[in-house]
Structure 1
Amino acid sequence: MGVSGSGKTEVGSLLADQLGCKFYDADDYHPVENRNKMSRGIPLNDQDRYPWLCSLHELIKRESACGRQHVVLACSALKKAYRKTLTTGRNMLLPEDPCPHSEDDICSVTWFIHLQGSMKLITERMQKRKGHFMPLTLLQSQFDTLEPPAAPELFLTVNIENDISEIVSAIKAELERKISNTH
């Protein structure tokens, strides 16, 4: 999880390879309307995000139902309420719930890896990125929206200034250590 340009896709896909599990990029599941809105420099609001987060929760549930123990999902998940919707499928955002309710709470087995970096570093990364629908002009709105994870959420915060292979190795080692301590 993290703001746009923090490396979620690259770190997530490499981590999934090392863990031998499936990888999904939440950007691939945005409705066309959301992509168009962001491409025009308009930040998404909770009403835009909620159905998208519900679909991601359903994706994770399907993977679990297939017997997959681990799945890596690259997703901004900027607010605590977004992370709660991802893990419960419940409406934590809107007064009216446009999605069907899910009673599948996966909070106790979901780890959020917060890829944290400075505005300067991420701006430099985004300036080099080609063909992504998220413009640099929305980066500040992502930092403004960001609510870093905190207890009781299960999370790791990782500085993204290191080499990608070092970041992925550190995440894998720490997850393995933490998961083995809970069993």
Structure 2
Amino acid sequence: MHRYTLRSSVQVPLPKMDTLSLDLDAALARRTSLRKPAVKPAPALRHIWVVTGPAGCGKSSVASYLAQSLDLPYIEGDDYHPPENVKKMSDGIPLTDEDRWGWLDTLRQKASDELESGAMGCVVTCSALKRRYRDFIRQVGQAEIGIVVRFVYLRADVELLIQRVKARQGHFMKDDMVRSQFIALEEPDSSEPDVVSVDVSESLMEVQKNALREIKARMCE
């Protein structure tokens, strides 16, 4: 008869309860972290800066300075008036809303084209005398993709602007048109927080520097 010897099974020590708890907590933490949605970085802001104000306030001089300082494309609004608008203004006839809508739409499209081509923003000159004109331009903004429209309103009294327009050479805008623009003007107020107001009674250099400083202060807002 064969004899069999029963060997005792190897005793494997069980893990302590506090170790199991730590392992379970770690596993839960890993699973929870995997469920968290990735946080998308906010899109970089791209600004369309619209330099506004009546004739003679210095829109072109200020806007070209801002565009050069910020390394942005510059759109001169006067270049996009249709011939019939230019003729009316040359003859001293104020433009109507109907005259302006197509022009405003062209400027809005030009600004969009610059951003679609890869520009980080642009500077546009446009009188934008009335609130509804500014609201129309605002429609090109798209907050969800970081496109922001803001205005630089160049503020001055009518007599100063008449003097400046009289001194111009070769421009279609005549000094008698300044008064008609002031009649049509709806100055921005606190209900338009996207408007930067800059006084233009100082020297051109001071006005340019003041406008640039105001813009830089708002570029990250």
Q: Greater CA radius of gyration, 1 or 2? A: 2
Q: Select 2:197's aligned residue among 152, 157, 162.
A: 157
Q: Select 1:41's aligned residue among 82, 92, 107.
A: 92
Q: How many residues align?
A: 166
Q: What corresponds to 2:116 in structure 1?
A: 65
TM-score by length of 1: 0.86
TM-score by length of 2: 0.71
Assess if the C-alpha contact under 8 Å between 1:115 and 1:157 holds in 2: yes
Alignment identity in percent?
Answer: 35
Q: Select 1:146's aligned residue among 185, 190, 195.
A: 185
Q: Select 1:4's aligned residue among 38, 50, 55.
A: 55
Once the two structures are superposed, what CA deviation does each residue of 1:36-80 show, in whole Å capped at 9, x if it has no partner? 011111100011000110111100110111121221111101001
Q: Select 2:216's aligned residue among 172, 176, 182.
A: 176
1:154 positional shift: 0.3
Q: What corresponds to 2:158 in structure 1?
A: 119
Assess if the C-alpha contact under 8 Å between 2:56 and 2:164 holds in 1: yes
Assess if the C-alpha contact under 8 Å between 1:114 and 1:158 holds in 2: yes
Assess if the C-alpha contact under 8 Å between 2:166 and 2:174 holds in 1: no
Q: Select 1:128's aligned residue among 153, 167, 175.
A: 167
| Secondary structure, counterpart of 2:212 in structure 1 | helix
Structure 1 residue ranges, 4+ long, deviating more than 4 angstroms after superposition: none
| Secondary structure, counterpart of 2:197 in structure 1 | strand
Once the two structures are superposed, what CA deviation does each residue of 1:112-157 show, in whole Å capped at 9, x if it has no partner? 1111111111111011101111111111110011111232340111
| Secondary structure, counterpart of 2:219 in structure 1 | helix
| Secondary structure, counterpart of 1:162 in structure 2 | coil
1:28 and 2:79 equivalent? yes
* More displaced stretch, 40-49 vs 65-74: 65-74
> Which consecutive residues of structure 1, in runs of 5 or more, have no partner in the other structure?
89-103
Structure 1 residues 106, 136: closer, same or farther in 2, change over 3 A?
farther
